[in-house]
Structure 1
Amino acid sequence: MTVPRPTNPRSPLTRSSLTRDLSALGVREGDTLLLHSSLRSLGWVCGGAPTVVHALTDVLGARGTVTVPTQTMDNSDPATWTHPPVPEDWWPVIRAESPPFDARVTPTLAMGRIAETLRTWPGAVRSTHPQTSFAALGPQAGRLMSEHAQDCRLGERSPLAGLERAGARVLLLGTGYASCTAFHLAEYRLPRPAQEEFSCAVMTTEGRRAWVTHDDVALDASDFEHLGTAFEGTGAVTTGRVGQATARLFSLPRAVEFATGWLPRHR
């Protein structure tokens, strides 16, 4: 399903115009959303990222909750870094000295300015995973962020599974399916999923820094664009414009269900 393009696409974007566009796309009061976003894709927004957060909360109302990924993948083994790599003789120093993840202050990188703005919003709640945390704002935030096991990045003991149980919808706001974190939940449900190690700096329950290593399902988004295109072909995705950005809105449980069937046939 495609909704009409908003009027005056070259006009400055405001809280009220973004609210109208989100409503026209199909975002509703009381929704639970998982948002992936690109501020730049929207066009010129008066007030920047805070204006977008205000528009989202205006549409969702007092009963709605918005969640964003606040990942910190730089908190990882430097031996795996490629963009850019660092000299091998730095690795022991980084492993010994990287600051531990702190849900209160550790910034999210590469998730966009809207996600980082929401993370610091009054009342926002963040999950505690040192690499793949989420932050949420709204009445369901505490419940949705309450479980995020340290050895489960995006699986059954992460906020993704909680969002699925809550019947959340995914809003891709100027981003493609490669950033659709919900598809990773399906990877955990593959028969014999590939495994990998990941390492990071954490704060222990005793208040001491530690460098820890866990085994978990290997995360691979390399085919998510193809997966998303196939999912969109089922008619399950509403597409439209929010500002100048292409936006997509769809059911998270339905997306995970589709991916759980698609991945075994295409990997």
Structure 2
Amino acid sequence: MPTPPPTGPLVTRDTVAAHLRDLGVRPGEILLAHTSLSSLGWVCGGAVSVVHGLLDALGPDGTLVVPTQSGDLSDPAHWANPPVPRDWWDTIRTSMPSYDPLVTPSRGVGIIPETVRTWPGALRSAHPQTSFAAIGPRAAEILDGHATDCRLGEHSPLARLEALHARVLLLGAGYDTCTSFHLAEYRVPSPLVEIGRPGPAGWETVTEVSIDSDRFDELGHDFERDCPVVRGLVGAAEARLFPVADAVAYAERWLPLHRPREEEILHPPPLSTSFERGDPHL
């Protein structure tokens, strides 16, 4: 069968930059972007053109930040996407390479964050499972000090982004990808979870706040109903733009009412449904 022709619209670097400016992205601001390349249309140059367009809209004084999670650096006993045989678990634990911000690829966040991660001059934070990468003059200020026992809390780039009045861009991505909501989980009563992962000295276990994007779509719907969110199109992608601080503050009020959780230590949920292995946006 012949290959079907590509579907549009045709999107270029200039298209992305122009549409982002129309949406309200400002030169010099800090932008936390959650992205889906496939939602944009037929992009000439793919992810590279999208990153160029984002940087063009932000200008030389702006800073682009993306999540570069590597949730596969985790205990294989909890993998479900796909699971692996039980008799492999010990070998995987002893053989898995530890996190290296320069080498470890991102997983489950799509090709645009991976392109940012490998961009000339990009920096990456230190957490082995929930790192962020950034390009721009404020990258180090945002990323430095990401504690290895604080995935998305007060000692993560999210808290820096909140304090620096950064905004979130959902570019073809839904509220289920909105990492800013996770910062609120650290500020309301939440269970703790034991996390297994490879470390510099071998396999290690740390106790962390449990994070889960369950019901984030519902949370996002209510947030957009009650708070100012700029909406528009970038190419064919639906885009949303709003302050990190607004999203965190709203989630701090919403989560205790809609998802009450008791303080306890839990085992993590299967990684097919947990934060660490979110759906990829290709």
Same fold, judged at TM 0.5 (above) = yes
Letter in 2 for 1:238: V
1:194 matched residue in structure 2: 191
Matched residues in 2 for 1:36 and 1:29: separation?
19
Instruction: Tell me how far 1:11 sits from its aligned partner.
Output: 3.7
Instruction: Tell me how far 1:185 sits from its aligned partner.
Output: 0.2
Alignment of 1:1-267 (within 5 A): 10-191=8-189, 193-203=190-200, 209-267=201-259
Q: How many residues align?
A: 253
**4+ residue segments displaced more than 6 Å:** none
Residues 142 and 160 of structure 2 are in contact (CA less than 8 Å); yes or no, is this contact kept in structure 1? yes
1:87-131 per-residue CA deviation (whole Å, 9 max, x = no partner) reads 111100010000111000110011111000000001100001110
Matched residues in 2 for 1:69 and 1:190: separation?
23
SS at match of 1:163: helix
Residues 9 and 236 of structure 2 are in contact (CA less than 8 Å); yes or no, is this contact kept in structure 1? no
Residues 171 and 238 of structure 2 are in contact (CA less than 8 Å); yes or no, is this contact kept in structure 1? yes
Letter in 2 for 1:134: F
1:206 matched residue in structure 2: none
1:44-88 per-residue CA deviation (whole Å, 9 max, x = no partner) reads 110010101111111101110010000000000001101111111
Matched residues in 1 for 2:119 and 2:87: separation?
39
Matched residues in 1 for 2:9 and 2:104: separation?
35
Matched residues in 2 for 1:164 and 1:11: separation?
34
Instruction: Tell me how far 1:235 sits from its aligned partner.
Output: 3.7
Letter in 2 for 1:93: T
Letter in 1 for 2:183: L
Instruction: Tell me how far 1:10 sits from its aligned partner.
Output: 3.6
TM-score under structure 1 normalisation?
A: 0.93
Instruction: Tell me how far 1:18 sits from its aligned partner.
Output: 1.0
Gapped regions of structure 2 (runs ≥ 5):
1-6, 260-282
